Amino acid sequence: MPAQTDQRHPGLLPIRAWCRLGMIMLACLCLGGWVGAANAQGRNHIAAQLVAEGKGEPGKVVTIAIDMHPEHGWHGYWLNPGDAGLGMTLDWHLPEGASVGTPQYPVPETLVVGGLMNHVYQSDYALLIPLTVPDHAVPGGSMPISVKAQWLACTEQVCVPESADLSLNLPISAFPTARDVRFDAWRSRLPAPLGAQAHMEVAGDSLRLAIPFPASAAISRPHVFAADQRIVDYAAPQRFDRAGDTLIVTLKRAAGTAAPTSFNGVLRLNPEGDGVTIAATPGPVPAGGTPLDSGEEVAATPSSPLPLLILAAIAGGLMLNIMPCVFPILSLKALSLARAGECEAEARIEGVAYAAGVILTCAALGAALLALRAGGQQVGWAFQLQEPGVVALLWVLAVAVTANLLGLFEVFAPTFASQAGHLDKASTARRGFITGLFAAFVATPCTGPFMASAMGAALLLPVVPAMLLFVALGFGIALPFLAIAYVPPLRRLLPHPGPWMVWFKKAMAVPMGLTALGLLWLASRMGGASFAGLCLVLAIVALTVLTGLGRQQRAGKGGGRMALAMMGVVALFALVVLPRHVHAPGAETQGILPSQPFSQEALDKALAEGHPVFAYFTADWCLSCKVNERLAIERASTRDAFEKAGIVVLKGDWTRRDAAITRYLTAHGAAGVPLYVWYGRGAQSAAPRILPQVLTPKTLPDLAAN
């Protein structure tokens, strides 16, 4: 969590940084005597030595170094220590005519302690300093050099101020001499000069940088270190985008500070410590670009205003009613829609109750999603179907509903259909509410048109507007049912209730049964054959109990409450016991279209080699994904076109939780699957193209041909 600034004194250090510096000063006072004795005996936690690269030549520059060796668990600081810590100070004592330049620091590391970002060195490092030898230096002699160096040595629990008096006698020679080879290794850790002008612009509380950087150059887990203090919020996530030969960096400005007129710092290129220096002046910064994974959560914000996102969520909910993954649930709605034509009061009660069930489910799932993400979990929309226990519960429920529709028992008769005329208000409301709960719970894992942008934005917004989007999604799903309930002309279009409902009810058991079979297949995909076998046994037990209780009910003995109690026991067993028996399924067989598992490394490698890339993200529980795979992806025509064009195919399987895939989905504004991303040839110079969520057989071959 970023440090908070003291608002009464804008521009001051964060409160936590002041506290930490206060502890440092207290340590100085309490441990001063001990530290002095330790220094006198050379017992610093970071040992230091002053060395020269070679002999000095009159009037020439020779490089000297302060070689630092931290003990295990201790670290020193970069020139800008970050939220807390202190940089090194040097007090030189040089002969007349000699001078030193600015120390050159190696690329630092990031270390977050208690929410404070520190710029540190946790292993051996060296500061390189150019030393100009005076013209009057006599070859064959020597020149004494000394420096009083002071620094802060810290662990994650304690900091100790340290110092040392370093000195050397630099030999003077009239000719170049042998060099200390250690300087080659030390120079390799210095940030290289960028060699081009970077630009910057201030946008609200953000500072955006445009850094000239070749599109062909590799970059992994970058980070920008600001050399000037209190310019940016060090602990805030940094966003990186690539637009051709320009790297676009978005940093959060430090609160309560004036807008900077320039920016100096270091760009770390990879975890190995390679980097370049940055010097940015005001100038244009491109918009857009291809997002890069910095290994940090990106503090992104949706680009669309909230009212448009709410409309998109409603439209997405409407579209869910006709998506392939939701079609089996329409069988449950159909019987309720038919009964809704009996009287206006009953239709409205059922419509409102159904809408309440749908909206409550969407809001509950949204709240759970936001809570999990706030706790550090990498989850996205439809996370519930990534849990084997939930799949097992849905499987048992789908089997029970199928058996009910076939007439094997009537325990849930008021829920879906009845031959007994009008129901009382409580039964009508209960029927609509339960139908809404079940329909929304199974339907929401799908991601249709309009819905993707709204759900992706919900992951970036604060809690209140995010929850508005989840409620809007539920309202969109329920809107057709509400319209029929409150618009009599629409209700009159439905057929009148009659004996046909008995046969229609049995016919609707077919799509519900197919849903049950699909859930059993999903259980085998998620947990292996043994897990699916246990789910089958569980369903048989539940079905046996419910059928027996149904017979008692038809004999006039009741039993509805006992049925609900038994279903509760079955549900508890599914959620608690079954996940312990989850085993990874066997390796997936390669389909018609050859692919490799998605990873950011595989994507970066393919793009660096200049290959076009088709990255698609799917899940076994996503029927829309499977329809697209069957109709457009896993086809011989697609395979042949991709092979001819040399296209790399990356498949992201999101059936179970995968943090890397979740980060990629979030970075591309998607809360769930399917997601299809196309990188054309030379894609590092252009943003990726997000393809429609409904593909046709010609979509991919046409892209490959172009």
**Winning range, highest mean pLDDT, from 51-65, 204-218, 490-504:** 51-65
Residues 183 and 205 reside in one and the same domain: no
Residue-wise pLDDT tens digits, 110-160: 987 656 788 999 999 999 999 999 999 999 999 999 999 999 898 876 778
Q: Helices 388-405 and 509-527: crossing angle, nearest 10°?
A: 160
Cα 468 from chain centre: 21
Put the strands of the sheet holding 46-52 in their side by side order.
Answer: 46-52, 61-70, 125-132, 99-100
Dihedral angle, C-alpha 301, 304, 306, 307, nearest 10 °: 180
As a whole number, mean pLDDT of residues 501-520 equals 78
Specify whether 465 is located in the same domain as 337.
Answer: yes
Q: What is the pLDDT of residue 145?
A: 95
Contact between residue 113 and residue 134 where contact means Cβ atoms under 8 Å apart:
no
- Indicate if the pLDDT at residue 201 is higher than 90: yes
What is the model's pLDDT at position 683? 44
Two tokens at 678?
Answer: 């196309």
- Of the candidates 696, 668, 685, the residue with the CA atom closest to the CA atom of residue 612: 685
Q: Which of 292, 315, 342 is the last residue of a domain?
A: 292
pLDDT at 180 over 60: yes
DSSP state of 646: T
- Residue 184 and residue 202 in one domain: no
Q: What is the CATH number of the domain that holds 617?
A: 3.40.30.10
According to the model, what pLDDT value does residue 670 have? 72
Q: Does any domain span residue 382?
A: yes
Local confidence band at 225 (pLDDT 50, 70, 90 cut-offs): very high
> Does 557 lie in the same domain as 410?
yes
Query: Within this chain, do residues 558 and 430 fall inside the same structural domain, yes or no?
Result: yes
How many Cα atoms within 13 Å fall on the side-chain side of residue 205? 10
Model pLDDT, residue 255: 80
CA pair distance 228, 263, nearest whole angstrom: 7
Provide mean pLDDT across the span 475-501. Answer: 78
Residues 154 and 241 in one domain: no
The alpha helices in 555-671, defined as continuous H runs, are: 560-576, 600-608, 623-628, 636-645, 659-667
pLDDT in the model for residue 5:
36
* Distant-in-sequence, close-in-space partners of 443: CB < 8 Å, separation ≥ 6: 320, 323, 325, 326, 329, 477
Give yes or no: residues 347 and 441 share one domain: yes
Domain-embedded: residue 587: no
Closest C-alpha among 335, 113, 138, 402 to residue 234:
113
Q: What is the residue range of 329's domain?
A: 306-581
Mean pLDDT in the chain? 78
Residue 247 lies in a domain: yes
Residue type at 254 in one-letter notation: A
Q: Is 22 a residue whose pLDDT tops 70?
A: no
Residue ranges with strand state E in 491-622: 596-597, 613-618
Average pLDDT of span 284-310: 69
Where would I find the H helices in 167-294?
Answer: 182-188
Highest mean pLDDT among 114-123, 170-179, 206-215, 331-340: 206-215
Asked whether residue 349 is assigned to any structural domain, the reply reads yes
Q: Would you say residue 65 has pLDDT above 90?
A: yes
Q: Are residues 27 and 86 in the same domain?
A: yes
Q: What is the CATH number of the domain that holds 48?
A: 2.60.40.1250
DSSP per-residue codes, 677-693 = EEE-TTGGGS--EEPPS
User: For position 452, what pLDDT does the model report?
Assistant: 62
Q: State the amino acid at position 51 in one-letter form.
A: V
567 vs 634 pLDDT, higher one: 634
Residue partners of 581: CB distance under 8 A and separation at least 6: 527, 530, 531, 534
Angle between helices 425-443 and 463-486 (to 10 degrees): 130
- Nearest residue to 447 (alpha-carbon basis) of 305, 330, 317, 632: 317
Cα-based angle 411, 414, 415 (whole degrees, multiple of 5): 90
Q: Are residues 279 and 317 in the same domain?
A: no
Residue 526 reports pLDDT greater than 60:
yes
* Residues listed for the chain: 706
* pLDDT mean over 365-384: 68
Which of 188, 222, 241 delimits the end of a domain? 188
Structure tokens belonging to residue 604: 């970066």
Q: What is the pLDDT of residues 333-343, one digit of tens each?
A: 655 655 555 56
Is residue 3 in a domain? no
Residues 6+ apart with CB under 8 A from 566: 542, 545, 546, 549
What's the total number of domains in the chain? 4
Higher pLDDT, 561 or 609: 609
> Span 457-479, mean pLDDT?
82
586 domain residue, yes or no: no
Percent of the chain with pLDDT over 90: 26
Most confident of 172-176, 404-408, 578-582, 614-618: 614-618
Q: Are residues 222 and 354 in the same domain?
A: no
Nearest to 291 by CA among 383, 369, 222, 202: 222
Which amino acid would we find at residue 105?
A: Y
Across 622-641, average pLDDT: 86
Rounded mean pLDDT of 184-189? 91
Q: Using the predicted structure, report yes or no on whether residue 416 has a pLDDT greater than 60.
A: no
Q: Which residue has the tokens 């060099």?
A: 179
Mean pLDDT calculated for residue range 660-666 = 78
User: How far apart (Å, rounded) are the C-alpha atoms in residues 330 and 312?
Assistant: 22
Single-letter residue type at 350: E
- The residue among 133, 159, 188 that closes a domain is 188
Lowest mean pLDDT among 168-177, 198-207, 332-341, 599-608: 332-341
Tell me the helices (H) and strands (E) count for the chain, helix number first.
20, 23
* Residue 640 to residue 309: CA distance in whole angstroms: 39
- Six token digits for residue 170: 């630099």
Residue at 537 is within a domain? yes
Residue 54 included in any domain: yes
Q: What are the backbone angles phi and psi of residue 232, rounded to the nearest 5°? A: -125, 165
Please name the helix (run of DSSP H) or strand (run of DSSP E) that holds residue 21, with its range, or none: helix 15-40
**249 DSSP β-pair partners:** 209, 240
Give yes or no: residues 324 and 252 share one domain: no
Q: What percent of the chain has pLDDT over 70?
A: 74
pLDDT: is 658 or 419 the higher one? 658
The whole-number pLDDT of residue 458 equals 72
Are 215 and 238 contained in the same domain? yes
Torsion sign, CA atoms 288, 294, 299, 305: positive
Q: Which of 113-117, 244-248, 593-597 is least confident?
A: 113-117
Whether the per-residue pLDDT at 94 is higher than 80: the answer is: yes
